[in-house]
């Protein structure tokens, strides 16, 4: 019987060692496969993040350029608006301002259309809120000026007489705030 137990324990121990070896090798293989997959995934993820970073940088550069061009166009809108308001204010003192009023209203409306078209052409770079905010700054003036009878304009509004310059600059100043927000530029107040 002694031989039986020795054989039994020998088989059990030898089988256990073989089993332990198989488990060890299986674990090592699975660990290696997981490491390999993890490295592959990590490499692909790094490539995608790099692509997104390049895309985001490109998009930001295009937005900056679009905002810059849009700002320059709005400076012209503002200049025509100032000149129009000045001619409108002086209309009642000088009747010959009717022709000037017509010309300046036409220039203002044309430049507003340039800004509006620029917004539409670059809409892919901005969200609807941005586009709507910019359009809403000059749109009421565009419709008011466009619909005005230049030969017999209504009386100049009293609230604008105090400061034609401030009134004409207000839409552009609001636009600057929107541009800064869009571009992530924050000004600290002292």
Q: Is the pLDDT of residue 190 over 80?
A: no
Percent of the chain with pLDDT strictly greater than 90: 3
Q: How far is CA 4 from CA 1, 8, 10, 19, 45, in A?
A: 5, 6, 10, 22, 60
pLDDT class for 151, splitting at 50, 70, 90? confident
Burial of 103 (0-12, 13-18, 19+ CB in 10 A): middle
Q: What is the pLDDT of residue 107?
A: 92
Exposure string of 155-180, with b = 16+ CB inside 10 Å and e = fewer, is eeeeeeeeebeebbeebbeebeebbe
Tell me the pLDDT band of 181, cut-offs 50, 70 and 90. Answer: confident
Q: What is the pLDDT of residues 85-117, one digit of tens each?
A: 888 777 655 566 678 888 888 998 999 899 899
* Cα 41 to Cα 37, 38, 51, 55, distances in angstroms: 6, 5, 15, 21
Average pLDDT over the chain, rounded to whole? 77
Query: For residue 27, what pLDDT band results from cuts at 50, 70 and 90?
Result: confident
| pLDDT at position 5 over 70 | no
Q: The whole model's pTM is what?
A: 0.60
């Amino acid at each position: 019987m002694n031989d039986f137990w020795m054989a039994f324990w020998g088989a059990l121990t030898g089988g256990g060692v073989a089993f332990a070896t198989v488990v060890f090798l299986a674990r090592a293989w699975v660990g290696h496969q997981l490491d390999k997959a993890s490295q592959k995934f990590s490499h692909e993820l790094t490539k995608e993040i790099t692509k997104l970073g390049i895309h985001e940088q490109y998009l930001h550069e295009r937005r900056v350029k679009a905002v810059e061009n849009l700002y320059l166009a709005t400076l012209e809108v503002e200049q025509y608006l100032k000149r129009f308001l000045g001619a409108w204010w002086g209309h009642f003192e000088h009747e010959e301002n009717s022709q000037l009023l017509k010309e300046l209203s036409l220039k203002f409306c044309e430049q507003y259309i340039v800004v509006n078209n620029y917004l539409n052409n670059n809409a892919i770079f901005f969200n609807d809120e941005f586009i709507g905010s910019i359009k809403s700054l000059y749109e009421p003036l565009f419709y008011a000026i466009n619909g005005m009878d230049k030969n017999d304009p209504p009386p100049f509004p009293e609230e604008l007489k105090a400061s034609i310059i401030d009134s004409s600059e207000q839409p552009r100043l609001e636009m600057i705030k929107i541009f800064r927000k869009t571009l992530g530029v924050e000004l600290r107040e002292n």
